[in-house]
Chains A and B, each alone.
Chain A
């Protein structure tokens, strides 16, 4: 099925949010969302890396892996591409924009192990997206992830001082908040649906 890239972009943010419906990128989502500021930093880094790596991985997959008939190596290749790109970004950033490096740089190593990045690359292959669609999907998923972590960080900051049952402090509470958020996002599913 041919889908408009813009529709995929919107759907990736709201209806098929990578975090709230596909559960990807939870580890860093839960650990970094204590502060709004660091959430924005990590979120921006995710948007950037996700968009670019989905483009690179698309090219690598369709123009290197498929012609050479080594599709089964896709996991290894994707991981290497992501790790190499993150490393490269870190070095370029450090050299040319120290300010940006200090605000985003510390989050970059975290991103290599963020399953959402690899997940986006795998989803785009499974769903047979074209190049434009893949980039739109990558950017949309990144923004969707940013939106989710920002919302959670905001809520967590507001309820920091409130009483919660001992067993629920930390991860348990964050998960319940995320669950309620996911429930709210189900409300968007009337707009567009991608599978």
Chain B
């Protein structure tokens, strides 16, 4: 497979969130603000790319039985880097993301890519696949966050767009709207007429 194909496949046609319904815990939790979603997405891209790369390099050295454990530890190490980086340079965002940065470890997308792709393919390909999956995930986060922030706060990336006449929908800030937004997104994408590939 060509590099570009790998990227497109993992980012769009086989997007982890809407095709395989993976990694939605954090997809729902951080999407009330676009900035949080973007930071979270970048963290996931970083972790996915590097952990896929690392796992692919040592894929022949890991004994089958303890494979999962080794993968988890590799992922956890990269998540610690992300966490420390955020704490040091962006303490505000780190605080508002709370435990969800740490929960990237149990984000099933990363484990899923490690199992499905990185365990069988060359390092560079795996890294591209990881970046692709991460980008696909980030796009989903940003779409949901855009709607939620626009209706909930009347702003985009913290910049007020809708002015004072707009009545803020407090439901959009609360938990239930995240479920509805993701459901609607999945609904639209899975409607047969729109189905790609």
List residues of A whose CB falls within 8 A of some B CB.
20-27, 30-31, 72-76, 79-80, 83, 112-115, 118-119, 122-123, 126, 165-173, 175-176, 178-180, 182-183, 186
- The 4 lowest CB-CB distance pairs between A and B, nearest first, are A179-B179, A122-B99, A175-B183, A167-B191
A76 contacts B176, C-beta separation under 8 Å:
no
State whether the Cβ of B24 lies closer than 8 Å to any Cβ in chain A: yes
User: Which of A31, A73, A74, A171 neighbours the largest number of chain B CB atoms within 10 Å of its CB?
Assistant: A171
What is the count of residue pairs linking A and B with beta-carbon distances less than 8 angstroms? Answer: 125
A182 contacts B176, C-beta separation under 8 Å:
yes
Question: Bound complex: CA of A172 vs CA of B26, how far in Å?
Answer: 17
Q: Which residues of B are found within 8 Å of A165, using beta-carbon distances? A: 187, 191
Q: Which residues of A are found within 8 Å of B21, using beta-carbon distances? A: 27, 30-31, 170-171
Q: Which residues of B are found within 8 Å of A176, using beta-carbon distances? A: 179-180, 183
Interface SS majority for chain B: helix
Question: Bound complex: CA of A126 vs CA of B176, how far in Å?
Answer: 24
Question: Bound complex: CA of A169 vs CA of B183, how far in Å?
Answer: 10
Q: Which residues of B are found within 8 Å of A173, using beta-carbon distances? A: 183
Q: Which residues of A are found within 8 Å of B191, using beta-carbon distances? A: 165-167
Q: Tell me the residues in window 139-197 of chain B with beta carbons closer than 8 Å to chain A beta carbons.
A: 174-180, 182-183, 186-192
Interface SS majority for chain A: helix
Q: What 1/0 mask marks residues of chain B from 67 to 87 whose CB sits below 8 Å from any chain A CB?
A: 011001100110110011000
Q: A113-B106, A167-B192 are in contact. Are A26 and B72 (CB under 8 A)?
A: no
Question: Bound complex: CA of A178 vs CA of B180, how far in Å?
Answer: 9
B24 contacts A26, C-beta separation under 8 Å:
yes
A75 contacts B79, C-beta separation under 8 Å:
yes
Q: Closest CB-CB distance, B154 to chain A, in whole Å?
A: 21
**8 pairs across A/B with beta carbons < 8 Å?**
A23-B25, A31-B21, A75-B79, A112-B68, A113-B108, A168-B186, A170-B21, A172-B190
The contact of A83 among B25, B72, B182, B186, by CB within 8 Å, is: B72
A186 contacts B190, C-beta separation under 8 Å:
no
Q: Which residues of A are found within 8 Å of B77, using beta-carbon distances? A: 76
Question: Bound complex: CA of A30 vs CA of B23, how far in Å?
Answer: 11
B99 contacts A20, C-beta separation under 8 Å:
no
The contact of B80 among A26, A76, A175, A186, by CB within 8 Å, is: A76
A27 contacts B24, C-beta separation under 8 Å:
yes
Q: Which residues of A are found within 8 Å of B55, using beta-carbon distances? A: none
